[in-house]
A and B are shown apart, each in its own frame.
Chain A
Amino acid sequence: MTRLVVLALVAACSRAPRLPEQPIAFNHALHLSVELDGRRLGCVDCHAGAERAEHAGLPALRDCLRCHMRPQLGERGVPSEREAAVRKLAAAAAPTRWVQITRNPGHVYAPHRAHVGIAKLPCAECHGDVAAWTAPPTEPVQRLLRMTECIACHRTHGASTWCGACHR
């Protein structure tokens, strides 16, 4: 019995660090399948800085409320748990405190505007298949690149490989 407990403890401790819980259990797959005004929602609809700014950014509550001003009802006609969480935040006028899970080291400059806005790279190139996520990740998403990968891609695309192009 003691052995079992020790084994369970070791297993629990050796797991990757768990991420803090997000304020809403956001379902990327569901949102990216939604059609609005005759077009499908894209990453840039919520991560508004992806094409023009250095950081893609996370949506503020008012961005959520553009669609969720009225409760979005599920197939059974009742609001889901996630919808309830949006309503709760909206009622309290509380900001959505998303937990940022992808962060570059401080000496790396990898602006979204150069990769998405200028080079027109698909988001999945660096972030993986986020469109398939039905719930926020519970462990850090390590799809961040190594410098050799950055350099290889920059060479293919004829982008600058000088140190100062990507380092602060």
Chain B
Amino acid sequence: MGADRRAFLRGTLALPVLAALPRGAEAAAAPHRRRRWGMAIDLDRCAACNACSVACRQENNIPSYGADPEFHGARPEWMSMLWQEPERPDGLPELLPLPCMHCADPPCVKVCPVGATYKDPDGITMQVWDRCIGCRYCMVACPYSRRSFNWSEPAWTASEQQMLNPDVATRPHGVVEKCTFCHHRVRALSERARLEGREPGDDELQRLPACAAACPAGAITFGDLDDAASKVSAQAASPRAFRLLEHLGTEPSVYYLKKERG
């Protein structure tokens, strides 16, 4: 009886609160399924053609600074090829596509003194350009060197101005920038799916980031690592899967599938 009364009281007390909520509150407060975004890169398929890094540059308005020697080795890079020493003396170097690892325990977030970089609830390591003071602690902390500093105000030619992607803000001089797993694309897809009363499907997500969309060999797969039915979680569980510098305990969200074919 006591329990019933409590339930009744809870109900009556909750009613005025619900009625006082503004219109649309129910829709906006609808539970949003939490994700753990991750990526798998199949090195058997990767031909190191660099299409991913070119697409990333285009998508995220990353300045190139051309052949200016002043910026040699200091150009912002979100997705680029890591050179590995060849195993045999006569071999060619191996190339590894290297986006941000979006670590579950990111060292860059721990050292940022102003909270400009943070861990998104869906597992993306984000960077707020306007909050960054350019101290570059995060660049030192990142064991994968996946953060870049804008040593100069990006200069765009008139035609480049026309080609800037309005979905991604350009970063000013003195700010650190990094890969966001094309967060803007994920955000737009989630909104469109929500309007239709559904969750984004794995087939829509697999090639959602610009790098994955551009890969001609389909080597890059994006998706939810917590979704047992997703392609990326299957690849992450593959015996070929490995992560970079796993012994550091950063728990990267990017998995590589090691080469098995010559």
Contact B120 A162 (CB under 8 A): yes
Bound Cα distance A51, B27 (Å): 14
Please tell me if the beta carbons of A107 and B194 are within 8 angstroms of each other in the complex: no
A159 near B: Cβ within 8 Å? yes
| A142 CA to B21 CA, complexed, in Å | 26
Interface segment, one of B184-192, B218-226, B246-254: B184-192
Question: How many contacts A-B (CB < 8 Å)?
Answer: 73
Q: Mark A108-127, 1 if CB is under 8 A from B, else 0.
A: 01010110011111100000
Please tell me the number of chain A residues within 8 Å of chain B, measured between CB atoms: 26
**Number of residues on chain B facing chain A (CB within 8 A):** 32
At the interface, yes or no: A165 with Cβ under 8 Å from chain B? yes
Task: For chain B, residues 167 to 189, give those with C-beta under 8 angstroms from any C-beta of chain A.
Answer: 167-170, 180, 183-184, 187-188
For residue A38, CB closer than 8 A to chain B, the reply is no
27 A-B interface contacts by CB (under 8 A) = A51-B195, A107-B129, A109-B187, A111-B191, A113-B195, A114-B191, A118-B27, A118-B194, A118-B195, A120-B23, A121-B23, A121-B24, A156-B25, A157-B21, A157-B22, A157-B24, A157-B25, A157-B28, A158-B29, A159-B28, A160-B32, A162-B118, A164-B120, A164-B124, A167-B169, A168-B167, A168-B168
Interface positions of B (Cβ within 8 A of A): 21-25, 27-29, 32, 118, 120-121, 124, 126, 128-131, 166-170, 180, 183-184, 187-188, 191-192, 194-195
Apart from the given pairs A54-B188, A118-B195, 5 other A-B contacts in the complex at a CB distance below 8 Å: A117-B195, A119-B25, A120-B23, A156-B25, A164-B187
